[in-house]
Amino acid sequence: MKKIISLLVISLFIGLLSEILAQTMVKGFVFEDLNKNNTREKNEKGVPNVAVSNGMEVTLTGAKGAYELPVGNDNIIFVIKPSDYAVPVNEYNQPQFFYIYKPKGSPELKYAGTPPTGKLPKSVDFPLIPITPKENFKMLLFGDPQPYTEEEVDFFSRGIVSELVGVQDVDFGLSIGDLVGDNLDLHPLYIKAVQPVGIPWYNVMGNHDRNYDVDADSLSDETFEKNFGPATYSFNHGMVHFIILDNILYPDPRGRKGYWGGFRKDQLEFIKNDLSFVPKDRLVVLAFHIPISELDVDGEDPFRDDDRTKLFELLKDFPHTLSISAHTHTQRQDFFDSENGWPQQGRHHHFNVGTTSGSWYTGRLNAEGVPVSTMRDGTLKGYAFLSFNKNQYLIDYKVAGKPADYQFEIYAPKVVEQNKSTSAGIAANFFMGSEYDTLYCRIDSSDWRRMYRVNTFDPSYFRTVLEWDSAEELLDGSRPSNPVECTHIWFTYIPTNLELGKHIIEVKARDMYGRTFTRKSSYRIAVRP
């Protein structure tokens, strides 16, 4: 009898141990979902050599599509989409490529996280839909939609999304953080607002998307995860490997109030493991919210230098790279070479994209009742298209409500005195401008002369702010933010030694991709009575 009881105890112990061990490993299959019902059928084969991750470790599926990974009590398991497959999307066009495993759920927070998920299923499977891979494709970029109220969600919808409904020849979109402005209950409204674009839509976590009432950075994304899935993940499309990263460290590891830009150790480990399965001829595009630039537009150091160095070291064997951020409500191009930490020949391009909210939905209201909301550096609010040709890319910035070729604005005096020297000049704000672009100006049909680039305030934006501060009656809308230095202003002198009357200003911009854009303005030469 004692022997039977002992055997029963041992059997129960082995069963319990097996259950405990099973809960520390996740198993499943990546399979071709031929009937697109998100369920693995007997006739649907597994897909080999597909990367799957738990947020840090990355493994490849075997010959029959099976994978196995360790998990703890707070993991999101996700498939890293191959280029020749798509993942399912839900009714709001959100890609469904992940499984949230939080057996006890998120901690109690002001904004709810994930409810308890319970035990792991016996198999966590990921459906893939076969597609014809493309070497050339286009994607959309949104910087900082950032509505603080339902009214501002409406501004975003009418001012940005409305002109993109049913957009053609664009494979997917990506918002670069600050999807909302601190009120995380607005996440569902943001999701519904983007849905009419009609393409799969990925998201980056921003500092205004985080949970404030936590004491560990690993918990600051609980509500984001519930609404969007993992805050750090990757996928492939064409010859491009995309890595999406949460780079907000909160609480600030320096002991200060707020947050800082940087990466946790587990995120850097994920990048390392992820890149180990990426061919070196691929273009690696990294997207995160806070810029990696040395100083931001407000003179602060936004990003932990050691983490930028570690990131660059992980990219050292990849000659084709691009990184994208938002956050500043300005637009600029930064280039890193060996003098500022890039560990290989050439340079790394970092694009700090302009925002769909502009300067936080401020400024006068346009004819549709939507704030004009020009950004603090004079860049008109809008969004960007990123076009890929194999492992090469080019970026187009699209001003909301303007033609595609509306790439800069000209500022000049309306009238100058004939033959009178003046400190006034002609300024052009080339919204995508950088040190690798060249601008020229001519008056009437004279010879082109080269303009010079300076870092200064945009004079047109400065005038707009002064309009508010000098108004004697309340204006519609709300006062714009204070101006900050712009990195894409070009200047030249304005001739006064011409005949009386109207003269045509023509400015030509040649960008780093070899494309040319032109715009015209005018001024008048007069004499005093």
The CATH number that applies at residue 251 is: 3.60.21.10
Q: How many CB atoms lie within 10 A of CB 268?
A: 18
pLDDT reported for residue 182: 96
Count of domains observed in the chain: 3
Integer Cα distance of 325 and 287 in angstroms: 6
442 and 484 share a domain?
Answer: yes
Which of 95, 126, 157 is the last residue before a domain boundary? 126
Q: Are 275 and 177 contained in the same domain?
A: yes
Q: Are residues 276 and 336 in the same domain?
A: yes
Residue at token pair 């990184």: 323
Pick from 96, 112, 77, 1: nearest CA to 39? 96
pTM listed for this prediction:
0.92
Same domain, 282 and 363: yes
The CATH number of the domain holding residue 95 is 2.60.40
Q: Is there a contact between 30 and 67 (Cβ–Cβ < 8 Å)?
A: yes
Best CA proximity match to 45, nearest among 63, 59, 60, 58? 63
Which pLDDT score, from 0 to 100, does residue 257 have? 87
Where residue 445 sits, what CATH number does that domain have? 2.60.40.10
pLDDT at 256: 85
Same domain? 83 vs 171: no
Tell me, yes or no, whether 52 and 142 share the same domain.
no
List all residues 6 or more positions away from 508 whose beta carbon is below 8 Å from its beta carbon: 439, 440, 441, 442, 448, 516, 517, 518
Q: b/e for 47-60, b at 16 or more Cβ within 10 A? A: beebbbbbbbbbbe
pLDDT at residue number 301? 80
Q: Is 119 in the same domain as 144?
A: no
Q: How far apart are CA 417 and CA 270, in angstroms?
A: 64
pLDDT at 261: 94
Which residue reads 């707009």 in tokens?
A: 464
Question: What residues make up the domain containing 464?
Answer: 408-526
pLDDT along the chain (529 residues), means of 10: 46 43 80 92 93 97 96 95 97 97 94 94 96 94 97 97 95 97 97 97 97 92 97 97 97 89 96 97 97 71 92 96 97 93 94 96 94 96 97 97 95 95 95 96 96 95 92 91 95 96 97 96 95
155 and 191 both lie in a single domain = yes
Q: Return the residue matching tokens 């601008």.
A: 439
Query: Could you tell me if 417 and 296 lie in one domain?
Result: no
Closest CA to 436 of 515, 340, 330, 327: 515
Do 58 and 274 touch, CB atoms closer than 8 A? yes
- List all residues 6 or more positions away from 227 whose beta carbon is below 8 Å from its beta carbon: 184, 187, 188, 191
Residues 84 and 202 in one domain: no
Instruction: Identify whether residues 143 and 159 lie together within a single domain.
Output: yes
Least Cα distance to 68 among 78, 59, 80, 76 occurs for 59
The residue among 376, 399, 422 that closes a domain is 399
How many angstroms separate the Cα of 276 from the Cα of each of 133, 273, 320, 342, 360? 22, 5, 15, 20, 40
Domain boundary among 126, 160, 179: 126
Q: What is the pLDDT of residue 15?
A: 42
CA dist 152 and 185 (Å) reads 14
Q: Does residue 270 sit in the same domain as residue 148? A: yes
